Amino acid sequence: MENHLLKKRIPSNPDLTEGSIVDKVLLFAIPLMLTSMLQQLFNATDVAVVGKFASTEALAAVGSNTPIISLLVNFFVGISVGANVLIARNIGARQPEKAKSAVRTSMALALVAGVIVAVIGNLIAVPIIDLLGVPPEVRNYSVIYLRLYFSGVPFIMLYNFEAAIFRSNGNTRTPLICLFVGGVFNVCANLFFVLVLGMDVDGVAIATVLANVISSMMLLHALRNEDSVIHVNVAKIRINRDDLVTILKIGMPAGLQSAVFSISNICIQSAINSLGATYMAASSAAFNIEILAFFVVNSFTQTLVSFIGQNYGAKKYERCREIVRKTLIVSWVFTTALSAILLVFARPLLGLFTNEQLVIEAGLLRIKLLLYAETLNVLMDNLSGAMRGLGKSLVPALTTLICVCGIRIIWVFTGFKIYHTWLSLMIVFPVSWAVNATFIIIGYIYTRNRMLPREG
């Protein structure tokens, strides 16, 4: 009976420390790609519905909030990487009690962090919108959407920590299934609230919140019914101090790295706002297309975190090196292929979000500049994930702070002031990626040589 149960678990919770690397990487990463794309579908349907059936101002409002939402949410999502690494390391080291303790701490941290972000987000909504210089015709829409979205952050946070727990145990399919159900609900609810009830940004925000409630509760139910080390007993959820310290030690720099991108993008968004509602709408629509290529990159980044975490815990250092090499190749192939497809179909895809030709042309420029340079993200993001899997999150966080945030902020307040054009603003994305990728490569080689000694 025990062997029968074990065999049933293998497909969803594979041992990442044994067997073929490429096969397991693909089985792990592909559900992550689909999961990320479904998450983006939440935002994309918001943008598409208000852009097609409400107004350009409503579309601009949803897009202008993206960097703000990313700043606070992604910081805590980055912390969930610490939970992923700690649990995966304990699983790889065959220490189930420590893994269970880390799971309990992760759940407690998710709940606390979610409430904190929701409260802070609602308190600073108006000052932040004003600080960004959102045009008067867009301001009220932006405030309404931001406040409603932040009200649902506890469920977004819970889902992301729950998904990190499943990933640490090699399971990426369960989070995908739960998110798929929420995604279908989100699309239907968006159309109902806007077309039937006549709502605009408030309707799409409420739909997104309800979709996240459904996904997070489904995933919680799955964790409660797990028969492995990641089983969750709600009554026993509590914070273990040692686990919390380790999670924060690994997760805080990862959260900072995510937040740094958001901080720099807030500066970029402020500059976009200065160009008017047309470019705000173009940026919002283009982002929802180009981000799909990044999700491919990021799925392999998360794969590296879990794979390296388990294998480093099992002290399989040579396998760690091999995982990084092979994952980089597979990631590059998938990212290049999807980027090419998106470039071919960029114009009709933008047409799903807006009917205005000026918005479409500006969106095309952004998509081309970013997708041609997307392979830089393969090196930058994947190697960052490998270092986080080793428990070393500070190096990629610092390089990102200097090379991404620094370059973008400096450009917004210098070069963009002189060359106040859409092109001069968009070009800063690939330039900052190129500089950051160079330093990330150096940081990874140094970290690898110190932590992954050659076997034999």
Determine the average pLDDT of the residues in 173-193. Answer: 87
Question: What integer best gives the mean pLDDT of the chain?
Answer: 85
pLDDT in tens, 367-389: 999 999 998 999 999 999 999 88
* Upper half-sphere CA count for residue 430 (Cβ side, 13 Å): 15
Q: What is the CA radius of gyration of the chain?
A: 21
Nearest to 371 by CA among 404, 334, 342: 342
In a domain, 370, yes or no: yes
Q: How far apart are CA 285 and CA 157, in angstroms?
A: 25
- Is there a domain that residue 9 lies in? no
Whether residue 383 is contained in a domain is answered as yes
Separation in Å, CA 418 to CA 2, 265, 412, 413: 70, 19, 10, 9
Mind listing the pLDDT tens digit for each residue in 92-125? 888 889 989 999 999 999 999 889 888 988 888 8
Average pLDDT rounded to a whole number, residues 143-165: 89
pLDDT above 90 for 446: yes
Query: 233 lies in a domain?
Result: yes
Q: Which domain holds residue 115?
A: 19-451
Number of domains in the chain: 1
The three-point CA angle 122-126-132 to 5° equals 120
Are 335 and 377 contacting, i.e. CB atoms less than 8 angstroms apart?
Answer: yes
pLDDT tens figures, 292-306: 898 899 899 989 988
Q: Render pLDDT for 235-291 as a digit per residue (tens, 0 to 9).
A: 889 899 999 999 988 888 888 777 777 777 778 888 888 888 888 888 888 988 888
Q: Is the pLDDT of residue 2 over 70?
A: no
Secondary structure of 96-154 in HEC code, one letter for each residue: HHHHHHHHHHHHHHHHHHHHHHHHHHHHHHHHHHHHCCCCHHHHHHHHHHHHHHHHCHH
pLDDT tens readout for residues 161-170: 999 899 888 8
Amino acid at 450: R
In this predicted structure, what is the pLDDT of residue 309?
87
In a domain, 198, yes or no: yes
Task: Work out the average pLDDT over 197-218.
Answer: 87
pTM for this entry:
0.77
Closest by alpha carbon to 416, among 424, 407, 427, 405?
A: 424
Dihedral sign for Cα 254, 403, 32, 114, please: positive
Assigned domain for 78 exists = yes
| Stronger pLDDT, 395 or 64, i.e. the higher one | 395
Buried b (16+ CB within 10 A) or exposed e, 261-294: bbbbbbbbbbbbbbbebbbbbbbbbbbbbbbbbb
Confidence of residue 319 (pLDDT cuts 50, 70, 90): very high
- Could you tell me if residue 4 is inside a domain? no
Q: CA-CA distance, 310 to 328, in Å (whole number)?
A: 18
162 contacts 172 by C-beta, under 8 angstroms: no
Q: Is residue 92 situated within a structural domain?
A: yes
Q: How far is CA 270 from CA 123, 148, 349, 416, 418, in A?
A: 20, 21, 25, 12, 16
Interval 415-424 mean pLDDT: 89
Q: How many CB atoms lie within 10 A of CB 12?
A: 15
- Token pair of 111 as six digits: 């709940």
Task: Quick: pLDDT tens for 61-96.
Answer: 676 677 677 777 777 778 888 888 889 888 888 888
